[in-house]
Structure 1
């Protein structure tokens, strides 16, 4: 009997001591879990702060730098503009010698200013034309050979496109015999081959006006020159000098013929560029 009570009391003591141990272990585990969760949360927040703050700072720095650079650039542009305005007002430079004008001379039509010696020599040795805007002063004479002829006749045949706006056709025949190149030509002393060219105009008011301009250009030796032919490639020959002619009656613009509604206006512009109006 005494043995049974002792055994029972031991068992009770064991049970009493085991409950607090389990509770403590549970509390410890919960506390440990809370600590881990708290630490994880704080680590995440700190990592977020570390990643976000540099971007914000860099963005702010970039914005400030951009605004500073933009201000500096605008300030520099203003300086350049004001400098150029000042220099343009104070200094006249000659477009021929690229230096300050000595004894400045202002052209009466276009008002460009050059050194007197520079522009006088340019007009005498090159051509009487402003080198800046190409305004013509006086007559421009070309290097067309002097032994050529220009003959004119008419026919009742009407050109395509002018059937109802003309009385017929104007025919121009240019003839140049063989000759020797002079100092104004590419190869002085070298023979050149002559040529015969035929051109056509409508016989109406505008066609006769273009004819008078072509006659003046011929007198100023501007219609032909000596050089390399653009069509055959031959050198040392008589060739056109940038005043286009209609050398065929038919065929349209592609074949240097008619119809071509814009030809008469174009050729007048080409003649005006050489000072013939």
Structure 2
């Protein structure tokens, strides 16, 4: 009798152990299956450049497994998300013809193993071509000063460009060869017929004032920033009627109608107040 009871106990214990082993195997299988599904989802998001979603999936995989490889993949996805943002900002700036701002955004993508590095290289080549073409158009229109300004802004942004340097050197050479003393005299005599006044010390009182441009030549920009695109040139004696101002912390920018003293033509643009004092 005791032997039969012992046998029943052993069978019961064996059954319990079997159930536990089966449950563990089933749980392991489910976990492995779930892990594979998450990996597949993460890889899909990475291919689609949906890096935020990929980061979330890798975070779940880290919690599930603690595996270091998922931590590395998560960090890569986070870096790519930042680079994607800079790339998209740069592309928006290109569409707005704000090439210098685009270059500044692209310059933040400097990892050679990043997929955005190659994309940026292609866009920078296109920007260089656009800048060179724009400068050449201005040279052909005898506006070498504007062409020079465009090229100098570009070189400051990229640091180096053989094409831009070569074209800039040719402009500077042409300027020296074509200097006409009578043109210099005309610039000195350039004087607006508009009634102008000096800028008050208090910049809050500048709006509505018409003031003379004091610099020999000054860049007119499409934005209140040194990175704004150069859209024209004003010379000493021209005048601006200020309609709004912007203080960027380093300088005050004035926006308004600029009137050419020579031709009487007008255009609206931003100009640094340093050219008005």
Same fold (TM over 0.5): no
Structure with higher helix content: 2
Q: What is the TM-score of this pair, normalised by structure 1? A: 0.25
